[in-house]
Structure 1
């Protein structure tokens, strides 16, 4: 299933409603033409009490998802889930929310290089090694009255030792911390839905390893 996040809501691209979620929290829009869809989509975005959105279409979900992404300017970003030798995860706190370190890619910069750079800049963690790629995330946001879509490439990383962290305060980061399993629930309760839904399986694997 393809997902895009906007504020605390999720936009699903699928041909059926996920029956694990109450049907009353899902609004449906049928994607027939770009013009028709955008009109209904903007109405949904400005609704005071938005429900999650299910986008229905008679074409392949992947094709429809790509068409949707093409409606907005893409902003490329990259970041990492970083674990140290003590089996702790690196989190940053920005504007009251916990998150993983990430940031915009420079023009022509590879996602792997950008992810390593952003983690180092935002937290001073290192040395870092990329272990493998993780699922991408997409979320919509408004900037100067225009809607943009941020496409973030994520990577699982290892950090040697347990270096002292220095939050990048000029980027609005108030804290950088190594979080162990004992504080994980507290931190996840104050993070973004996309972190829990898309990167949740990696966090669950971390829990299971620490339980061994």
Structure 2
């Protein structure tokens, strides 16, 4: 099952039919995806399931219905186990950004972290899960698939938020500060922290 966020509302891609309680279920094959996304953006639908029988094909089917934007980002630890966060649009987030032509996704993630935060000397430790969310750009809804990587750095220099990306603040957060920051973050960022042990 995949979880796609539309304005922090979950849209589940599933091959299981569950009895409806607090959500609506749609057939991925026939759904008007744009109408459904609009309803979620306008708070008319809080939670929805898209059903397709073949789980292996489900994401491919969704990609046929909505343009995809690919991004890479980092969950970055320093030597003292703190995690690198950025603050923009009133929420705590992790550095990430869109892939450029000819780049490998790992290169994208490393470049974006450095551009958005000023942190260098980054090393990828492992691949984390992908996250999925829908955004609107120039009147078009797109599915953003972000490939996340756990990274480490010895960097102790100045943190510089990329101003033209609207980043107001960059900070190393300790485990207890991370818990607090996640209270004012995005659901797909919270998902990443379900997988990792903070402060290891």
| TM-score normalised by the chain length of structure 1 | 0.86
Match for 1:55 among 30, 50, 55? 50
Partner Cα separation in structure 2 for residue 106 and residue 99 of structure 1:
21
Partner Cα separation in structure 1 for residue 25 and residue 198 of structure 2:
35
The corresponding residue for 1:200 is 193
Q: CA deviation at 1:161?
A: 4.3
Q: CA deviation at 1:67?
A: 0.7
Please show how residues 6-45 of structure 1 align to structure 2 within 5 Å.
Answer: 6-16=6-16, 23-24=21-22, 26-33=23-30, 36-38=31-33, 41-42=36-37, 44-45=39-40
Cα separation, partners in 2 of 1:42 and 1:80, compared to 1, 3 Å:
closer
Partner Cα separation in structure 1 for residue 120 and residue 167 of structure 2:
18
| Secondary structure, aligned partner of 2:39 | helix
Q: Which runs of 5 or more structure 1 residues have no equivalent in the other structure?
A: none
| TM-score normalised by the chain length of structure 2 | 0.90
Q: Which runs of 5 or more structure 2 residues have no equivalent in the other structure?
A: none
1:122-165 superposed Cα distances (whole Å, 9 cap, x missing partner): 11112110011111112111112111111111110001143321
The corresponding residue for 1:91 is 85
| Secondary structure, aligned partner of 1:162 | coil
- Contact 2:122–2:153 at 8 Å: present in 1 too? yes
Match for 2:98 among 99, 104, 110? 104
- Contact 1:77–1:104 at 8 Å: present in 2 too? yes
Q: Does 1:114 align with 2:108?
A: yes
Partner Cα separation in structure 2 for residue 147 and residue 70 of structure 1:
13
- Contact 2:7–2:41 at 8 Å: present in 1 too? no
Q: Tell me the matched-pair count.
A: 200
- Contact 2:40–2:46 at 8 Å: present in 1 too? no
